[in-house]
Amino acid sequence: MKKTLFIMVSALAVFAASAKEVDGMTTNKVAKTDAEWKAQLSAEQYRVARKKGTERPYTGTYWNHKELGIYSCICCGTDLFLSDTKFDSGCGWPSYFKPVNDQAITEHRDTSASMVRTEVLCSKCDAHLGHVFPDGPPPTGLRYCINSASIRFRKADAPPANHEDGSQ
């Protein structure tokens, strides 16, 4: 009896810990083991999105991409940036001046690499996306410098995909 109660309480605690309130609504965070992420992602996607890596400039799939559509999280499929907010910053990574909405991303202070920056993460699964800098164009003055390995593109006329299982 005690073991069953412990398992039930533990399961409830895990569920409650993974829930997040956004605008009065509760959404579930995506939580997977390293083994599950490795099975879903390529080695480069895993290194960048799950281990906070960075791809070399001018090497990512989307740094010079110009099609109309939506860029979503490679790990969970959350929509992150619209193509009409993308601009050429000359830095070698895809750059955007704002996310699709205020709930799509979270920001954290990053003091790695002997500098102070603001890291950008997917709000739903905590995938490392890149960094945001205060040197972007109007109207925000921000430059979201995002790794191509952390995002996936969907044409404007394509329906949303469920990426939680790695499918497109």
**CATH code of the domain in which 103 resides:** 2.170.150.20
76 catalytically annotated: no
Contact indicator for 118, 108 with CB cutoff of 8 Å: yes
CB within 8 A of 77, min separation 6: which ones? 152, 160, 161, 162, 163, 164
Q: DSSP 3-state assignment of 107?
A: strand
Q: Which is the catalytic residue, given 73, 75, 122, 145?
A: 145
Residue 24 lies inside a defined structural domain of this protein: no
Sheet containing 79-82: order of strands: 79-82, 69-73, 151-155
pLDDT tens track, the chain, 168 positions: 444 333 333 333 334 444 444 444 446 899 999 999 999 999 999 999 999 999 999 999 999 999 999 999 999 999 999 999 999 999 999 999 999 999 999 999 999 888 899 999 999 999 999 999 999 999 999 999 999 999 999 998 766 655 444 444
Number of domains the chain contains: 1
3-class SS at 26? strand
Which domain covers residue 64, as residue numbers?
32-155
Whether 11 maps to a domain, the answer reads no
Is 98 among the domain residues? Answer: yes
Left if phi > 0, otherwise alpha if psi is -120 to 50, otherwise beta: which for 92? Answer: left
Quote the pLDDT of residue 156.
84
Residue 125 lies in a domain: yes
70 part of a folded domain: yes
First vs last Cα of the chain: how many Å apart? 43
Whether 23 is covered by a domain: the verdict is no
Residue 38 lies in a domain: yes
| Calpha distance 117→127 (Å, rounded) | 17
Residue 90 is assigned to a structural domain of this protein = yes
